[in-house]
Amino acid sequence: MAAIDIKAAPGAVRFGDGVVVLLAVAIFINYVDRGNLATAAPLMKDELHLSASQIGLLLSVFFWTYVPAQILAGWLAEKINPYRTYALGLALWSASTALTGVASGFSMLIVLRLLLGLGESVAFPCSSKLIAQHLPQHRLGMANGLVALGLSLGPAFGTFAGGLLMAQLSWRPVFLIFGLGSLLWLWPWLSVTRHLSKADDEPKVDTAPPFAQILARREAWGAGLGHFCNNYAFYFVISWLPLYLVKTRGFTVSQMAEVGGMIYLVYAASSMASGWVQDRWMAAGGSATQVRKTVIISGHLLTAAAMLGCMLGSAPVAIASLFVAGVAFGLISPSLYAIGQTLGGPRGGGKWIGFQNCIGNIAGIVAPIVTGAVVDRTGEFTWAFAVAGVIAVAGALSWATLVRKIAPIAWQAAAA
């Protein structure tokens, strides 16, 4: 990916590969740190005597701050400085992760999950603001594929390495190791983006559309609903996969770590392949509407088929279906953010993704609680998979009908 100038003037500070890679690494850290609780759930459940509903609440409460803070993060990314906002957010979520390792009870875990959600809320609005501002349309697929690589490898590493470490050390030391280790990202980020951050601090006219304009767009609500439907199935899997494999399928913690890690590796490979294919397709003449909608709708339908396989199949079929779900999530991820970055454009990309991610991540509140309640009532995951499958189909319908055209919105014309 060639570097893209922030300014046309010779000698301008440049935004290039190093920044995109660091954004992907930050998303990787983001998903390692938020997913550790799911990996530790089988051990925490026994040590702290938690019910499935309490585990569901802990998984959900993260989103109580993460969801509304998306709007704040989108505003900060447009109004002040996305580089500095990202650094502060990562410092907060890393500290919250480390302190989880010394949590003394359920109430303290609740508070730390709230702080974790507040810190992690900066990730997608800030990264999308930078990508939308500095990369052209035909490069969004690979850039978002690389970010999605971090999104998928984070759970893979957290489930595999975290699970194996927890099997040896228990869960508390792992939270301390991962939380303190996450802070190391700040050194290259502050070093690489120092001049970019200073350039972004220069006085400038605020040309970003107000949230009222975004809320008035049918496409914004369609993208938010589609994002919600994708996230419901994704968060259902990422939150409950360890407990499902251990308690329902009889896996050991080590076996769970291996299978869960491989599923996320499939997700990672699918994300990069999806981004690459979309960029090549668009370079060959495909429109953003044709390319993005074809891929994202196909991904939703494949997710629904995977949930059906988990619901009705035997143990081997269910495990195979989870790998199919990994492929589907990878297909969707690059399009999910590229669509919002395209519609919002360079001026509104941060705010648009802030709103879209806010609506989409309500699924993080709903999915864990609904799943915990269903599992407590029925004693199994069958109907939880059914709910995820139906919602995935609703997502395909949302992208097909509510987001009719994927092209930059002329915000000045919209205001007029």
Q: What is the 3-state secondary structure (H, E, C) of 168-190?
A: HHCHHHHHHHHHHHHHHHHHHHH
Nearest to 232 by CA among 53, 371, 52: 371
How far, in Å, CA of 131 to CA of 352, rounded? 13
Residue 348 lies in a domain: yes
How far, in Å, CA of 323 to CA of 250, rounded? 18
How is residue 402 annotated by DSSP? Answer: T
> Whole-structure pTM over 0.85, yes or no?
no
Residue % of the chain over a pLDDT of 90: 33
- Phi, psi (deg, nearest 5) at residue 193: -100, 10
Indicate whether 10 pLDDT > 50. no
Q: What are the start-end ranges of the H helices in 244-314?
A: 253-283, 288-312
Residue 415 lies in a domain: no
How far, in Å, CA of 9 to CA of 196, rounded? 14
Contact 233, 392 (CB under 8 A): yes
Provide the residue count of the chain: 416
Predicted pLDDT at 3: 39
Which CATH number characterizes residue 369's domain? 1.20.1250.20
Residue appearing with tokens 């730390």: 112
Predicted pLDDT at 207: 66
Residue 201 lies in a domain: no
Q: How many domains does the chain contain in total?
A: 1
Strand partners, 5: 14
Residue 78 lies in a domain: yes
Q: What are the start-end ranges of the H helices in 16-139?
A: 17-47, 52-79, 82-100, 106-120, 123-134
Residue 11 lies in a domain: no
In tens, the pLDDT along 366-390 reads: 887 788 888 888 888 889 999 999 9
Residue 46 lies in a domain: yes
Contact 270, 330 (CB under 8 A): yes
Domain that holds residue 105: 17-196+208-409
Predicted pLDDT at 200: 65
Indicate whether 92 pLDDT > 80. yes
As a whole number of Å, the end-to-end CA separation of the chain is 37
Residue 12 lies in a domain: no
Residue 9 lies in a domain: no
Span 149-163, average pLDDT: 79
- Phi, psi (deg, nearest 5) at residue 15: -110, 115
Indicate whether 243 pLDDT > 60. yes
How far, in Å, CA of 234 to CA of 239, rounded? 8
